[in-house]
Amino acid sequence: MTKIVMVGAGSTSFTRQLLMAMFSYKNVKDCFFALYDIDEEKLDFTFKFTKQIIKQENTNAKVEKFATLEESLKDADFVITTFTVGGMKAWRNDLEIPKKYGVDQEAGDTMGPGGIFRAMRDIPVLVNIAKNMEKLCPNALLLNYSNPLAPMVNAVKQSTNINIVGLCYGVQYTVCQLLGFLGEDKWISHPDENKKRHDIVNSTLSPKVEFEFAGINHMTWITKISLEGKDLYPRIKKLVNNQKVIDEDLIRLEILKMFDFYSTVNHWHMSDYLPYFKKNEESTKKFLPNRWDLLNLEEAKVKSINKIMQEEIDGVKTIEVRQNIFNAPKIINAIMNDERTRVNVNVVNDNYVYNLPFKAIVEIPAFVDKDGIKPCIVDSLSSSCAALNKTNILMHELLVEGVLNKDLKLLKQALSLDPLSAAVCTLEEISLMFDELYEVQKEYLDFE
């Protein structure tokens, strides 16, 4: 029986969506699901949900919760990671402390001081998981959703021989949004409320749209897009004059005007990775008149989903088994059932994108079948878009080196290269900000 391990299974939002999709595929719904989380209460809740979906769908699946990581990983075929060390408490520090220094992040999960400290907390855990996999399931595929995605994948590739890909749904939902902006499909707003986030997760791509893309996670460029064979880019470039889209997506339109291509991910996220939009309070209000309260959105989402899951566990509501925007179930299905599928993956750049650094982590198309994941060569990324990617890649490279070597000076230097921090802080302020964050988060870190 194929064994799928879910590490961070207590992350109810991710786990629920992944299970709902996996149970929609033949054979995948008959797997052995091994659940692991350090939070026993959350783990037990997800375990009950998984038992209920097995009962509801009347499958041959098995589920077991494990007290140790090592027990859960033994003989695994697939390992899905969805954890974040320190949870909401650490994340709140990531966002609140930098504000004192003028660094006003929207997400704080990939770049900026938030991305740095999340990497410091999460990379050692993921590397430990991968090293245990080398002993217990060396041929398993590691599917990582945890952020910061590119540094996480990079660290595992540098430290182990485990086959890993990073997964994110930003590419799919950006294409869905573009079709909506053009009036060719449902309008999908940015997720400033949880209903809109639900719309994104459940969005589906029209089979009539074709597209290519390349870049890095959270800054991947839609290089080509057509509908029924007709190039959409001439129409996309006219969106800069569409007031409804301006109100929805100003920052990405500004990037489109200067760099000629549309990028993932949403405009709030995008503002964290660039130096142009938050230089002061005035520019922040201009480009982000409506702010993204992601932390509180997450807290509200967890409460809402837990309530729904409890009703599903009790049999009051039927669990909706269906495919969604998540790629891990699609990849597992493609490998198990030999159904050739195209997905977006984050992998080591083995000359797949010639004008991005060799061995950087790039987000590109890949085809999947019974023989595994086969990344595609993409030669359509412009030099200007590649240059913007490199501003983030160089910071991430230093970040990974600093974490793997437990070198706080390197990590402080990485933060000095962060575009947003550098746009508003002196080097002295960056150093003080780093030190303050480090003192507050020592309980989650092991850099002594």
User: Looking at residue 56, what is its pLDDT?
Assistant: 97
- Inter-residue contact 213 to 223 (CB < 8 Å): yes
User: Encoding tokens for residue 224?
Assistant: 């080509």
| Cβ-contact 413, 387 below 8 angstroms | no
**Half-sphere exposure at residue 146, Cβ-oriented, CA atoms within 13 angstroms:** 34
Give phi and psi for 238, each to the nearest 5. -80, -10
Q: What confidence score (pLDDT) does residue 12 get?
A: 87
Domains of the chain in start order, with CATH, are: 84-292+326-448 (3.90.1820.10)
Q: How many whole angstroms separate alpha carbon 285 and alpha carbon 242?
A: 20
Minimal CA–CA distance to 269: which of 417, 420, 403? 420
Peptide bond into 148 cis (omega under 30): yes
Q: Please give the backbone phi and psi of residue 221, each rounded to the nearest 5 degrees, phi first.
A: -95, 130
Please report how the helices 149-159 and 383-404 are oriented relative to each other, as an axis angle in degrees rounded to 10: 60
Instruction: Return all residues near 327 (Cβ < 8 A) that are at least 6 apart.
Output: 167, 169, 343, 344, 345
pTM tops 0.85: yes
The tokens describing 68, both together, are: 């140790």
Measure the CA–CA gap between 423 and 102, rounded to whole angstroms.
Answer: 10
> Helix (H, G, I), strand (E, B), or coil: what is residue 14?
helix
Q: Which two tokens stand for residue 255?
A: 């990037």
Phi, psi (degrees; rounded to nearest 5) at 404 = -65, -30
| 24, amino acid identity | S
Query: What's the pLDDT at 194?
Result: 67
SS3 317: coil
How many CA atoms lie within 13 Å of 159's alpha carbon, on the beta-carbon side?
Answer: 24
Residues in the chain, total: 448
**Which neighbouring-strand residues pair with 222?**
213, 262
Segments in the chain below pLDDT 50: none
User: Phi first, then psi: what are they for 346, rounded to 5°?
Assistant: -110, 115
* 74: CB partners within 8 A, 6+ apart: 136, 137
Residue 207: CB atoms within 10 Å = 6
**149: its two tokens:** 């995605």
**Residues with Cβ < 8 Å from 154, sequence gap 6 or more?**
348, 360, 361, 396, 397, 400
Q: At what angle do helices 427-440 and 112-136 cross, to 10 degrees?
A: 50
